[in-house]
Every structure is written in C-alpha cells, then in structure tokens.
A and B are shown apart, each in its own frame.
Chain A
C-alpha cells in the first residue's frame, strides 16, 4: 500500500488545487476578454491619444458621435438587422420542418439527404463564392439585401437542420403517439406539442444563425455594390479617415463595439431562456 499523508497535507493540497483552478480561469478570461476591452478603450480616445499607451479608457465620446452621424453606417446597421433577422427566420422555419422530416418520418432517402446537408457545410465559403455569384445573378438579386438573405441560408441551414434533427430525435416518440391518438394532424403535433418543447434548441440555433449572418463578410463584400445596401462588417471595413493614408482606429473600434453589443445582449437574454430539463416530467422520472 502506498504511503498515506496526514490529513492536514491533503487539506493543503485541496486548497492549492482550488487556487490553481481560479488562477487558470483568470488567465483564460483575460485572454478572451482583452481584445474586446482594448476595442472599448481605443474607441473612447481621440486620434492623438491613440498613439500613447494607456490601459484605461478616457471617456471621450467623439468617435461615437461621429459614427452615429455617419448616414452610411446607420444605413448599414439597418441592413444588417433586416438581413440577419430574415435569414435566421427562414433558416429556422425550413430547419424545423426539415428536422421533423429527418427526425421522425422514416423514409429511405432520409439518411443520405441528411449527410448531403452536412456535406454542404464542409465546403469553404470561397469555393462556393463564384457559383453563388451566378445564382444571385440568375435570381436578379445582385446588389440587394435579398442576395445576402439567400446566400446566408447556405451557411445557416445545415447546422440548424442538424441540431434540430438530433433534438427532435431525443424527444420521446410516445408524446407524438399520444398526440396522434388525441386526433392531432402532423402539423398540429409540430405546432402544439413539439415546438413548445423545442424552445431551448430553437433559441440556441437561432442565436447561432443570427451571429453568423450578422458577422458575415465575404458574401456581403462580393454581392453588394453600393453603400446604401451594405451590411455592417463591410461598412466598418470601408470606413475611412480624413485622408487616404489615415486609418481611423478610434472610429473603427467604436463601430466594432457598437455592432458587438447587440450580440452580447442577445446571448445574455437567450442564455437564461435555454433552460435544461424542460422535458422532465414527460416521461418517467
């Protein structure tokens, strides 16, 4: 038998371990949060102050005032909201119906279709870019927000379908059988029995889809030609200073902070909604 230390030694080891854990957590937190903090700091400083080093923000809001008086940026903000909301809604609507089909209605081609859906998300965006450009042309959507709504579906639909399919598969089949005996149609089962139970999954996948659409850059840059149709990521990229050779760091950071805030708020709201164990009580337990 290995030697046993005294009780006090084990107590010390346990304390050291918990101290070590919190230190490791602190390191990770700093690593993750510092860029965002640095963006806030930079956004509150004037063009001259930016080149002097300080870790503290200097509460100078001129960058924000300048940003919100910029009509192109405000327009881009509105475009982003419309595009991200629309593509998220469509992705969820199609994703829920597809997930019900894949998860519950057993048909021969189902497995292969599901794998095909997954394959779509394997291709990098650059690969589909030129093909997508053709499709947008045929649909006569070039240089309109509709082009982005359509093209973002290729990014959001595969994972919404997959996440929702696996969620539906985990719901007890008996619930649906009970609903069938209660006289429900397939649609009523979906709307009255499954959807209320799927809220946590819908909220989380919807949020992911929204973030993806909100931050997307490549399609937004390629399919939009004029300033009034741009979305925020591209608009930020094209912000210019007073001269060609000046990079307006303060303004860029103010814009970045502004567009990240709504996402943070959304994540915090939905995080509380995503309650685990909503289905407890449906089946034995």
Chain B
C-alpha cells in the first residue's frame, strides 16, 4: 500500500513539452483515473510514474520515498499494457511467474503464488497455453495476473480495455472494480473512455495538453466542471455550447436566448453551456426557451436524442426518456432550459458561478 506523489513533474521529448509542471497527490489505496483526449500526455504521465520514461524535471514519490531515479522494477509497481505485452513464447503460467523467476524465488513458492492468482482470475485451466491460443479477454486476465503476482503497492493500467469488444469491456470493467475492492492497492488507470473513468474512479484527473485541467470525484467533475474543456469532455452526448454576448448585465444568445445573471462587475462571459438532459422540447414558446429548427430524432428505446438547429452551424442535442416527440424535420420548436442547469464560461474557458439577478436582489433586500 502506498501513496503516489508527483511534484512539479515535466517531460519533454526534444522541443515537445509532453507533460508540463504536474503536481498530483494520490492517496493510499485510491483508484485514480487519468482521462483526456489522445495526445494529452496521460500515457506518458503513467510511464513517468512507472519509471519506463525518465522525467525531465520534478520528482516522483511512491509511499513517501523519492523514486525519481529508481528503476521500474524496484518501485513496487505493476503495469498492465494496452497491448497486454504477454511473452509470446512462454505459456500462461511462465508469463505470470517470469518476474518471480527473475527475482530467484523458489519453485514451490512460485507455484503457490501463480495458483493463487490463477484462481482469483479464473484462468487456472489456461496455465499451459501460449498467449496466441487465448482470446482477447483471456489475454487481458493473464496480463492482470502478471501484475497481481508481484503483489505490488501500486497498479498502473494503460488503457487496458481498449482492445476488447464492448461486451467484454463492460465485464472486465466490473472485474477490475472488484479487484480493487479485494486487493485494496493504489491503482492508477489511463483511459480515453469516459464511461470507464466515471464508473471506476474514486477521483478523476482530466489532462489536456500535458496539464492537469481538474481533479475531483466523478460527480464533482460532472456537476461542477472547472473549465469549458472538462465540461465538454465529460458527458455523452456532449454538453451543448453557444456563444453569448453580455450587454448591460444581460446575456443574449442565438434563438432569442436571454438571461440576466447576477455577476460581479467586470466579468466577461463568452459561452453558455447546457447538458442535453437538462433541455426540453415543445411546440409553444415559453418564458425561458430558445427558438430552433427541428432536424432529426433518434429513438434508442429507453431514451431519445433530438437534434435541433439553434443557429448557423449550431446543432444542439436534446435528450429525454421514453419515445421521442413527434416533430417534423424543419418544424420550429422551442428548447426549454432552466437557470439552475446553465453553465457560463468566460473568455479563458473558466466556469463562472452565477444565479439569476432577480434572486440575488431578493436576497440582498
């Protein structure tokens, strides 16, 4: 069991800064997920922690001890690769025990530990097979077994499920969550899949351009994203955005959007954001509605997605449960929203706290 601390860690390859001044504190036994778009540096950050890539600047601490220059095998970590990286010429049993064999641990002890791990992962019947005789899901289990057998203090997963098909991915996600509950070790997990991030993480670290955008629980990140980037990255379908103009304390946007937030003077607002599930559709205009043109409805059985055009090149998604409303393409519809669900972002993409101005006035009075 160990905590992981990154102090001002940077990594450059030549002139490219992949990781810029990352500070991060990961608690003992915590499950932390790194998410971000491809090229954001999440895999590099994991490799820095593993010691597979040396840091350019800063310090890495595991369990309170500095390990910045300690080789990967001496850090008490295990790594599960996206490609599994099983040794093709060794059978499953030897793949799992290779680290123990390298560490010159006795045959009997190796046998005992391999069998314990194989039992835990239900791969006991596969021990004599070669990796090429295994299915994707079985290879994944062997890769996890190889990580488990060394009894590490920190598990590092690099997109472990992205080579599996959708069904298996859901199943293995559940297995990994169970594994974390059982071994109670610290786990750091890299993914670009936000479902994995939301479902597995105690805390999510959102990375963008080699920097930490925001750290927090899945709920915090979803409800209170710090920036427009986080707001747009988490959530599927994505949050709807539209440009807005602030004049005399009143916000105006496309489709007749109008709102008067109680903001400090001097604040700028450049974009509004609304999640698809926070919107409603109706044929009649109301007090808080945006006029739009209906484009298309998708019926997913338990829910529906409607696409409406609220301005030039601006298509918003509206999500609701049950059957989709019967609108015709090209028909004018009105998108209903509520101030409590509205996100405002300033020119730098930072989210602004806001409440309707009249309510602020009431409270002051």
* A interface list, Cβ under 8 A from B: 172, 174-175, 177-184, 188, 192-193, 196-197, 278-285
Contact = CB atoms under 8 A, between A and B. Distances in A.
A282 B72 CA distance: 21
B81 A177 contact: yes
B78 interface: yes
Given A181-B50, A188-B102, A281 B77 contact: no
Interface residues of B, number: 32
Contact of B81 (A178, A182, A184, A197): A178
A196 B89 contact: yes
B81 A174 contact: yes
A181 to B, nearest CB: 5
Given A178-B85, A281-B131, 13 more contacts: A177-B52, A177-B85, A181-B72, A181-B79, A182-B98, A182-B102, A196-B89, A278-B88, A278-B89, A281-B139, A282-B87, A283-B85, A284-B163
5 contacts: A178-B79, A182-B146, A197-B89, A284-B84, A284-B136
A196 B98 CA distance: 14
A281 B79 contact: no
A188 B86 CA distance: 16
B130 interface: yes
Given A178-B79, A182-B99, A184-B102, A279 B71 contact: no
Contact of A172 (B71, B72, B83): B83
Contacts, number: 80
B73 interface: yes
B164 to A, nearest CB: 9
Contacts of A180: 52, 71-73
Nearest to B52: A177
A285 B163 CA distance: 9
Contact of A282 (B73, B99, B131): B131
Nearest to A195: B89
Contact of A183 (B73, B130, B134): B73
Contacts of B52: 177, 180-181
Contacts of B150: 182
A32 B84 CA distance: 46
Contacts of A188: 102
